[in-house]
Amino acid sequence: MLTLPRIGQGTWDVPESGARMQEAIDALRTGIALGMTHIDTAEMYGNGRAEEIVGEAVSGIPRDSLFVTSKVLPGNATYDGTIAACERSLKRLRMDYLDLYLLHWPSRFPLKDTMRALEQLVRDGKARAIGVSNFDLDDVREAQSYLQNVPLACNQVLYHLRERGIETRLIPYCTSNGIAVVGYTPFGRSRFPRPSSRGGAVLEQIAAKYGKTVRQIVLNFLTRMPHVYTIPKASRSEHARENAGAAGWDLEQADIDAIDEAFPVEDGPLATI
Ligand code: NAP
């Protein structure tokens, strides 16, 4: 089973140049210094620019103190294309290996070929662990069936207060199969609860009780289960600091129950962004 910090750092939409990019680099470094050493990126983000920015942000930081994930685009996910994409990502990141390499979402190419390529990357020392993203239960099972010597280590999926469907079957299956679930978009973009809403008021009340912010309550709640992780993206240091403060303490069961009631789980097919 993978072990990694419960709260990591995403890099989708990270500013790609100028002062805002420098601010984003500082934010990543701030987050790393505060324990958010799990960095999530992908060849898709800014057409590789996000990987270059991660490489810049972590320069000088010991490689073995970081956990870096990247992802192959489905359009590149043939056997040879996956191997080549990983090598391009490593070059942009200025790294010798990835801690985790994922297929970004199901592709039109045979999944068997992609999984064989991912296994080969582990054998070649280019990836420490491999997995998938945006895979529902049947797809996860299919991916597992093609792996011969390396376990499927991760499924990265959408998970926020208003998208909790993965709690019904996907999380239980992954957890019992040693597959880490990394939830993305924890703040739900435009669906983040407003303070004026009923759910928002519940979160405000709980935040006041713990002396935390609402976003910290949300991140803590989303990582309350074993082997479930989250990767908020922050391009401002104050956001990175706030997100880091969501780890290292636990919500009481009564507060978890109150959040459960305010943001009920709705079953259905896997949602994506
Ligand atoms: P998110 O992390 O839920 O939200 C990012 C937004 O929240 C940014 O506008 C950020 O602002 C803001 N923010 C962060 N911390 C904050 C705080 N403490 N207070 C107020 N605002 C805060 O959404 P996301 O970027 O979509 O998802 C996170 C990561 O998941 C991505 O970056 C990516 O690495 C990964 N992801 C993966 C997939 C996939 O298909 N596998 C899909 C989507 C995302 P600033 O940037 O201004 O700080």
pLDDT of 31-77, one tens digit each?
Answer: 999 999 999 999 999 999 999 999 999 999 999 999 999 999 999 99
What is the rounded distance in angstroms from the CA atom of residue 152 to the CA atom of residue 100?
A: 10
Mean pLDDT of the chain: 97
What residues line ligand 1, using a CB cutoff of 6 Å? 10-13, 40, 104, 133-134, 156, 184-187, 215, 231-236, 239, 242-243, 273
Tokens coding 99: 């801690």
Rounded distance between C-alpha atoms, residue 122 and residue 130, angstroms: 8
Reference 82, options 72, 92, 90; nearest CA is 72
DSSP 168: T
CA of 184 to the centre of ligand 1 (A): 8
- Catalytic residue status for 45: yes
Cα(28) to ligand 1 centroid in Å equals: 12
Closest CA to 179 of 129, 113, 118: 129
Chain-centroid distance of CA 104 in Å reads: 11
**DSSP state, 50?**
H
Cα distance between residue 232 and residue 7, in whole Å: 8
pLDDT at 4: 87
Beta strands 180-184 and 228-230 are parallel
Element (H, E) at 84: helix 79-93
Q: Cβ(205)–Cβ(259) under 8 Å?
A: no
| Tokens at 178, concatenated | 């040693």
pLDDT confidence band for 273 (50 / 70 / 90): confident
CB 226 within 8 A of CB 175: yes
How much is the pLDDT for 247?
97
Mutation choice for ligand 1 from 53, 185, 212, 213, CB with most ligand atoms inside 8 A: 185
pLDDT of res. 183? 98
Residue 222 has a pLDDT of 98
Q: State in Å: Cα 257 to ligand 1 middle.
A: 25
Strand partners, 228: 181
Position 267 scores a pLDDT of 87
Q: What is the pLDDT of residues 117-140, one digit of tens each?
A: 999 999 999 999 999 999 999 999
Closest of 222, 236, 238 to residue 186, by C-alpha: 222
